[in-house]
Amino acid sequence: MKEERIARVEALPLRYAEPNNNGKTRHVTLVRIESAGGAVGWGEAITGSEDASIATRVIVDRGFAERLIGRNPQDVEAIWSEFRETTYWSGNGGIVTFAISAIDMALWDLAGRIAGLPVHRLLGGKRRERVRAASSIIFDTGNLDGLGRQFADLKSRGYGVLKGGWGHDLSIAFGRDPKRDVAIVRTMREAVGDDAEIIVDVVAGAGWTASHAITMARAFEPYRLYWLEDALPEGDAAGWQRLREATATPLCTGEKGWTVPHFRGLVDNGALDVVMIDPGRAEGVTGTKKVIDLAADAGASWNAHSWSSALNTAASLHLAAASPNVLVLELKPEPSPMQNDIVTDPIVMQDGWIVVRDTPGLGVTVDEASVRKYVFA
């Protein structure tokens, strides 16, 4: 059994240009964990910025790595509890939680590979053979005609759920101008027809109050949103309740949350229809599973918000497969370095759906030479 013990831990900060965001530079930090027998598991933290990516590597290299050496990767949830309890001062969110998220994801991958089982089986079993895909794009808010053509094209490619949000130009992003916001929603609906679901995502910092959110949700009602995302700050519990009472439009938030207790607050508020979450940010596969279960118990759905690398997408796919209450898994519709280059078997949409994988671990094959081309620090 000695060959199952963890022998090596490495953190790799990556930089890439995202074609789905007009080529803008983004960052992630991957964690690679190798057993003495040579099995390898991979995890991801969706760090976003250069500084956070390097800081996450420091937390792994100087802190968690030596505590993992010699441990059995199948003790993944025990390690998760120990790491978050012993970092209560510096953690419970932020960079330490990025590190725990990536480590936890890598441990689930490694545990599955050692056991010869897909992660969804370790999570309790597969409840579905496929998960509905949502194409997820950033709006070109300055070009409504182009935006309409883009949504019509995505629908014709097979997507039955289509989301847009924010804006390539943040100064005119979705959420900043009521007239333009309504025009965008109308354009989306007209582009895809009645036979598709549409979702809009309000830019962070738009500053909507509950009253404004109610006004906007009512203006959007004729166009039948699948959900309205991030209409209010996550902490505005009273605002979410007012919004819920004033509109029939489903409400979603969660991408700014880090920890299980934070998500419990969102679920307990009762105003949300959909909680969105990323294992590469919110305490790994272990933390995300707990949030999914909280939401399921409360009668809420969850969205696999995944918009980063193939590892977060793969982890989300297994969590979705094992859960009773997933709505969709978000995909970047255009090929992207982190989705298509760093693995040899990227996760793709087929006829509007994503097929669940039964191969061991996370079920994606990392191309290490490709990963190392993106390492910047």
Which residues lie near Mg ion (CB under 5 A)?
A: 201, 255
The one-letter amino acid code at 366 reads: V
Q: Quickly count: other Cβ atoms within 10 Å of residue 192's Cβ.
A: 21
* Comparison of 4 and 201: residue with beta carbon closer to Mg ion: 201
Q: What's the closest the beta carbon of residue 136 comes to Mg ion, in angstroms?
A: 8
Pair 47, 312: CB distance under 8 Å: no
* Comparison of 55 and 203: residue with beta carbon closer to Mg ion: 203
| DSSP of 255-321 | TT--SHHHHHHHHHH---SEEEE-TTTTTHHHHHHHHHHHHHHTT-EEEE---S-HHHHHHHHHHHH
Q: What's the closest the beta carbon of residue 229 comes to Mg ion, in angstroms?
A: 5
* Comparison of 80 and 166: residue with beta carbon closer to Mg ion: 166
Q: What's the closest the beta carbon of residue 217 comes to Mg ion, in angstroms?
A: 16
* Comparison of 84 and 163: residue with beta carbon closer to Mg ion: 163
* Comparison of 59 and 276: residue with beta carbon closer to Mg ion: 276
Closest of 320, 272, 273 to residue 126, by C-alpha: 320
Pair 296, 323: CB distance under 8 Å: yes
* Comparison of 124 and 207: residue with beta carbon closer to Mg ion: 207
Question: C-alpha distances in angstroms, 70 versus 3, 8, 67, 100, 188?
Answer: 10, 9, 8, 18, 53
Closest of 94, 99, 14 to residue 59, by C-alpha: 99
Helix residue spans in the chain (DSSP H): 50-59, 65-68, 76-85, 94-115, 119-122, 144-156, 178-192, 210-220, 237-246, 260-269, 284-297, 310-322, 368-373
Phi, psi angles (nearest 5°) of residue 196 = -160, 160
* Comparison of 112 and 250: residue with beta carbon closer to Mg ion: 250
* Comparison of 103 and 326: residue with beta carbon closer to Mg ion: 326
Q: What's the closest the beta carbon of residue 276 comes to Mg ion, in angstroms?
A: 7
Q: What's the closest the beta carbon of residue 307 comes to Mg ion, in angstroms?
A: 8
Q: What's the closest the beta carbon of residue 243 comes to Mg ion, in angstroms?
A: 16
Tell me the pairing of strands 251-253 and 24-35.
Answer: unpaired
Residue with nearest beta carbon to Mg ion: 201
Q: What's the closest the beta carbon of residue 249 comes to Mg ion, in angstroms?
A: 16
Query: Whole-angstrom Cα distance, residue 105 to residue 343?
Result: 16
Q: What's the closest the beta carbon of residue 322 comes to Mg ion, in angstroms?
A: 24
Helix (H) or strand (E) holding 134: strand 130-138
* Comparison of 120 and 132: residue with beta carbon closer to Mg ion: 132
Phi, psi angles (nearest 5°) of residue 217 = -60, -40
Q: What's the closest the beta carbon of residue 88 comes to Mg ion, in angstroms?
A: 28
Paired residues of 304 in beta bridges = 277, 329
Return the axis-axis angle of helices 94-115 and 310-322, rounded to nearest 10°.
70
Closest of 45, 51, 55, 62 to residue 9, by C-alpha: 62
